[in-house]
Chain A
Amino acid sequence: MPPAIEINNLTKTYRSLFGLRTVNAVDSLNLTVEEGEVFGFLGPNGAGKTTTIKILLGILYPSSGDCRLFGELFTSNSAFAPETANSKLKAKIGYLPEGPYFPEFLTGREVLSFYGKLYGLRGDLLKKRIDDVLDIVGMEYAAGRLVQHYSKGMRQRIGLAQALLSDQKLMILDEPTVGLDPIARREIRDLMIKLRNLGKTLFVCSHELSEVEMICDKIAIINRGKLIRYGKLLDLILHDRAVEIDVAALAETVWKKLESGGCAMERAETGLISIRLPAGGNVYEVMDVLRADSTEIVGIRPKKESLEDLFIRSVKEEVA
């Protein structure tokens, strides 16, 4: 099965008026998102996330490289690339833009009807889909109100509803929970999990790292247009596959021995002592030392970094 998204050597260069200054908003980006995956696309402000998303949607055109969706060439820098394939593939994409904007003079239902027609839906089928997506995002009660009277959260929900209209295989969600209250955020997150369970591929761009950590299988972190981390979330946050050993108490001789072996000890608030092995440290050797002294081992756990820590560390390392 071909990947849902395949980005090959993608570069987007912006030039100043006379071409004297150039900025690479996206720089030689390579990514693959398999079908059915929930992919987190992360990066600080101005990293090139939205530019990449716009290229994936055919709103921007790349300076070099190309994107393939479900194995078919979607967008390239060729001036003569036909739009036909592009248009056909767009039918498989649902897109929620960041801070979605809609024609203000339409009601929520009319907005959905307008976008539904652009997906080729008509008549009873369109009406049914609108009712379905309004139900999914919990907006039936306000569907008859003008969009200009909607709150930020309501706009976000209608934005998500229009992205779901045609039952697309790939959902590209740019900041899906931004500006939402905790309850709405939870609902949108549950909805994303529901979509994942339905087998849809989700490409989520978000600054809410805790949410990304909860729902994503794979992530990519970009900074200044360049890919700096990419892979399965667990592989990235389970740092070097290292472990930490928690013990109830530690004799001074053992402490010194472990310290000389490169281990780092830390007393937690719970009273337990955490022994952090050095990179590449052998857990069995440490266990032998502890057992020899009859030290009570409370637990062994993989050394795990939060996504937020990973994100900040990666960006700082890249800047340095």
Chain B
Amino acid sequence: MNSLVIGLNAYRESIRRKTLIAFLLFAMLVIGSSTFLTVLSPGEEVKMVKDVCLSCISFFGMLIAVFSAGALIPSEVDNRTIHTILSKPMKRITYLTGKYLGAQFTILLNVGLMAVLFLILLYLQSRRYVDETTPSFSVTALVASKAMMLVYFELLVLSALAFAVSTMSTSATLPVIAGIFIYIVGHSVNYLKNLSEHSSSELMSLIIRLFYLILPNFSNFYLRNQLIQNDPYVPQGIIKLFIYAVLYAGFGMLIAYILFRKKDV
């Protein structure tokens, strides 16, 4: 129960952060203006909107996730509110779970708002470009919703890993940089596999393969092709991807707990 109390407080704190508000406003601006970009690709307007919006939600979602999850604990250490909170009757795992929950509420709210705007745009586009070959809005909305859900799963993992880094950091800079790095590497994991296969050194190949096996593969969560082709089929399966995300998030939280359990704050 204390986790929820801390989570709600962390959420209230996060949604007041000027950085996060700026990211959300900027994301909304990019999503909203994507309809104007359609003039660049006549005949592929809907595809353009989908492409821009999904990339935008993924990118700004990443920024919001790493800034909200990565800054919560360092800012609380910095302004010393953590001392009063940790002196209260609760375990450190409760505190960590609460903070992570707070970050999830923030991410969900932001991704939710961006997704709603995206769906509104898709609806407007579907009414504007109607022909026999264009699938109905309901099919597009279903695929888009799945894509948004998977973006959130990705952010669930990313925020847990940034959160784990934040427990050993005294400022928000390190977890934010680490979060962005993990996002980039996570989207490049498939290249690591190719790299390991083509590496001349066996040791190097082994190391790269180890990274490939350890790092979360964020491209699993990116449904760009399905969204553009209006294909509701998710190759890895939503449930499997959810379990995959939860396991990685759990791993991140475990690392966070190990680092924070006996940490002097």
Binding site for B on A (CB under 8 A): 54, 57-61, 79, 83-84, 86-91, 93, 95, 97, 99-103, 105-106, 114-115, 117-120, 159, 162
B149 to chain A, nearest CB (A): 31
Given contacts A60-B264, A79-B262, A105-B13, contact A118 B91 (CB under 8 A): no
Q: Which residue of the partner chain, among B9, B90, B264, contacts A87 with CB atoms under 8 Å? A: B90
What is the bound-complex CA distance between A79 and B87, given in angstroms? Answer: 19
Q: Determine whether the beta carbon of A117 is less than 8 Å from that of B84.
A: no
CB distance B80 to A61 under 8 Å? Answer: no
Q: Which residues of A contact B127 (CB under 8 A)?
A: none
Which residues does B use to contact A, with CB under 8 Å? 1-2, 5-6, 9, 12-13, 16, 79-93, 261-262, 264-265
User: Which residues does chain B contribute within 8 Å of A93, judged by CB atoms?
Assistant: 87
Question: A131 to B145, alpha carbons, bound, how many Å?
Answer: 47
Docked-complex contact B91 and A61, CB < 8 angstroms: no
**Please, which residues of chain A bring their CB within 8 A of the CB of B89?**
87-91, 118-120
Which chain A residues border B16 with CB–CB below 8 Å?
A: 105
Closest to B9 in A: A114
**Residue contact B80 to A57, C-beta cutoff 8 Å:** no
**CB < 8 Å neighbour of A59 from B86, B93, B261:** B86
Q: For the complex, give the distance between the alpha carbons of A79 and B2 in Å.
A: 24
Chain B hits for A54, CB < 8 A: 83, 264
Instruction: Contacts A103-B13, A117-B2 given; indicate if A57 touches B79 (C-beta within 8 A).
Output: no
With a CB–CB cut-off of 8 A, which chain A residues contact B12? 103, 105-106
Is A61 a contact of B264 with CB atoms below 8 Å? yes
Pair A114/B13 contact, Cβ less than 8 Å: no
Q: Contact between A103 and B2 (Cβ–Cβ < 8 Å)?
A: no
A and B contact pairs by CB, cutoff 8 A, 14 listed: A57-B87, A59-B83, A83-B92, A83-B93, A86-B91, A87-B89, A97-B80, A97-B87, A101-B80, A101-B81, A103-B13, A118-B2, A120-B2, A159-B84
12 additional A-B pairs beyond A54-B83, A95-B87, A105-B12, beta carbons within 8 Å, are: A57-B87, A58-B86, A59-B82, A61-B264, A83-B91, A89-B89, A90-B89, A99-B80, A101-B80, A101-B81, A103-B13, A118-B90
Q: Which residues of B contact A120 (CB under 8 A)?
A: 1-2, 89
Please report the C-alpha to C-alpha distance between residue A101 and residue B75 in the assembled complex, in whole angstroms.
12
Rounded to whole angstroms, the CA-CA distance of A88 and B88 in the bound complex is 10
Chain B residues with CB below 8 A from A99, complex form: 80
**In the bound complex, CA of A103 to CA of B89 (Å):** 19
- A103 contacts B87, C-beta separation under 8 Å: no
Whether A100 and B264, one on each chain, are in contact in the complex, defined by CB atoms closer than 8 angstroms, is no
Shortest CB–CB separation between residue B5 and chain A, in angstroms? 4
Q: B87 — which chain A residues lie within 8 A by C-beta?
A: 57-59, 90, 93, 95, 97
Measured between beta carbons, the chain A residues less than 8 angstroms from B93 are: 83
Q: Across the interface, do A103 and B5 meet the contact criterion of CB distance under 8 Å?
A: no
Q: Which 9 A-B pairs have the closest CB atoms?
A: A91-B89, A118-B88, A90-B89, A95-B87, A57-B87, A83-B91, A117-B5, A60-B264, A101-B80
Q: Does the CB pair B264–A97 fall under 8 Å?
A: no
